[in-house]
Amino acid sequence: MSSIALITGTTHGIGRVTSRELAKAGRTVVMLCRDVPAAQRVRNEILAMVPGASIHVVECDLASLASVRAAAGAVRRDFGRISLLINNAGIAPSRQQMSVDGFELTFATNHLGPFLLTQLLLDRMNSPGRIVNVASRVHYRGTLDLNRVVNAKARFNPMAAYAQSKLANVLHTFALARRLTGTPITANCLHPGVVATNLLPRWLRAIKPLLSPMMLDEERGAKTTLYLALSEVVTGASGKYFDENQIAQPAAEAANNVLLQEALWEVSERWVKQD
């Protein structure tokens, strides 16, 4: 079996492009998706372009910790060592919603689900292995207010919720990379650019005309993910934040706060009940 690459959120946008390019690169692609029929359609599209590619679909709803555990169990049962884990999936709901586990849905999907998935599969990572977290430049505007994550009656601001989840992605990446120091496994995160897809949240669509000059299409939006996944240039690089031009950039001051990184890690472990 070829080198195994896991990726979440492949039914649209940069996840779909990334999956296709990984298949072209000869990777065994395991797509972890909530919408299995949509993922199967993407699988068929890729197979039409890359005959003979090895592509698999595993059901995984990142907003459900039970679903994440089931998906990780299926991966552990059905596949060998993992060389690449791309936490790509993300949402940006426009109204307050809570996950089945009682967490604000944006945070549950964008951070807690990927955090748990990574924890459950870390011991199956190959040597060398790469973990790539798709974050966002929006993390610069993020603040960590974990009380809002568990308070269903908290005032909801969709932009603030999304920015908080993206800050959590960067904090997670840096804390994970520190724990992986001295191992052949790396962890990096990235801003893919403002990607023009039909999945733009409603609150962002309102200013889409203003953003259009700086928007990337899905092909260009996937470039940094693919760079961190496949390029030999970044072999050994870890604990870094890359922009849409594949250049390592300073992350937000809050993201570099080690105390904040460790506080989020401790709370995340407790919330997903992973010791």
Q: Where in the sequence numbering do the catalytic residues fall?
A: 162
Q: Distance (Å, rounded) from C-alpha 119 to C-alpha 248?
A: 25
Residue 201, preceding peptide bond in cis (omega within 30° of 0):
no
Q: Distance (Å, rounded) from C-alpha 204 to C-alpha 211?
A: 9
> Considering Cα of 260, then 99, then 134, then 58, what sign does the dihedral take?
positive
| Angle at the Cα of 257 from the Cα atoms of 148 and 238, rounded to 5 degrees | 110
Q: Which residue has the tokens 């070829």?
A: 2
Q: Distance (Å, rounded) from C-alpha 152 to C-alpha 91?
A: 18
Q: Of 96, 113, 201, nearest to 149 (Cα)? A: 96
N-term to C-term CA, the chain: 32
Parallel, antiparallel or unpaired: strands 82-87 and 4-8:
parallel
Q: Of 4, 23, 167, 180, nearest to 85 (Cα)? A: 4
215, β-bridge pairs: none
CA atoms within 13 A on the CB side of 262: 5
Q: Which residue has the tokens 């000059």?
A: 213
What type of residue is 229? A
